[in-house]
Structure 1
Amino acid sequence: MNSSTKDIIKEKALSLFAQRGYDGTTMKDIAELVGIKTPSLYAHFTSKEELFFSVYEDLANEYVYLMEKIMGTAENMDMEDKLFFIFQQYMIYYMKNPEIQAFWNQITLFTPPVIKEKFFAHVANCDGRIQKKMEKIFEEGIEKGFFRKDCPIRMSLSFRFFREGIINWMMVMPELKKEKYIKNFWRDLWLGLKKQ
Structure 2
Amino acid sequence: MTKNKIKEVACKQLAESGYERATLSSIAKEVGIKTPSIYAFYKNKEDLFMAVYKDLLEDYYFYITNSVQNITDGTVKEKLYQIIKELCHYHLSQPEKTASYTKLAFVLPPTLNDDVRETFSEMEVVLSELLRDIFSKGIEQEVLKNQPVDDLIASFLCLMDGIFLELIYYQEAKFKRRVEQTWSIYWNGICKKLDE
Question: Who is 2:162 aligned against?
Answer: 165
Partner of 1:74, secondary structure, is coil
Match runs of 1:8-87 below 5 Å: 8-34=5-31, 36-87=33-84
Q: Match of 2:85, as an amino acid? A: Q
Contact 1:14 1:55 survives alignment (8 Å): yes
Identical counterparts, % of pairs: 28
Distance in 2 of aligned mates of 1:96 and 1:183: 18
Deviation at 1:13, TM superposition (A): 0.8
Contact 1:13 1:52 survives alignment (8 Å): yes
Deviation at 1:159, TM superposition (A): 1.7
Contact 2:136 2:149 survives alignment (8 Å): yes
Please provide the CA RMSD for this pair: 2.7
Q: TM-score, normalised by structure 2?
A: 0.80
Q: Deviations over 1:11-63 (max 9, x none)?
A: 22112333454345321332344455433444543411221122223223323
Q: Which runs of 5+ in 2 are unaligned?
A: none
Question: Who is 2:111 aligned against?
Answer: 114
Deviation at 1:97, TM superposition (A): 0.8
Distance in 2 of aligned mates of 1:126 and 1:84: 20
Contact 1:95 1:177 survives alignment (8 Å): no
Q: Match of 1:73, as an amino acid? A: N
Distance in 2 of aligned mates of 1:32 and 1:83: 44
Cα distance, 1:153–1:102 mapped onto 2, change above 3 Å: farther
Question: Who is 2:187 aligned against?
Answer: 190
Match runs of 1:117-132 below 5 Å: 117-132=114-129
Correspondence 1:91 to 2:88: yes
Question: Who is 2:152 aligned against?
Answer: 155
Question: Who is 1:136 aligned against?
Answer: 133
Q: Match of 2:144, as an amino acid? A: F
Cα distance, 1:92–1:47 mapped onto 2, change above 3 Å: same
Partner of 1:61, secondary structure, is helix
Q: Which runs of 5+ in 1 are unaligned?
A: none
Query: What is the count of residue pairs matched by the alignment?
Result: 193
Distance in 2 of aligned mates of 1:114 and 1:178: 33
Contact 1:148 1:195 survives alignment (8 Å): yes
Contact 2:68 2:83 survives alignment (8 Å): yes
Contact 2:6 2:27 survives alignment (8 Å): yes
Q: Deviations over 1:84-116 (max 9, x none)?
A: 112112211111112222222222334333222
Aligned mate of 1:145, from 123, 142, 145: 142
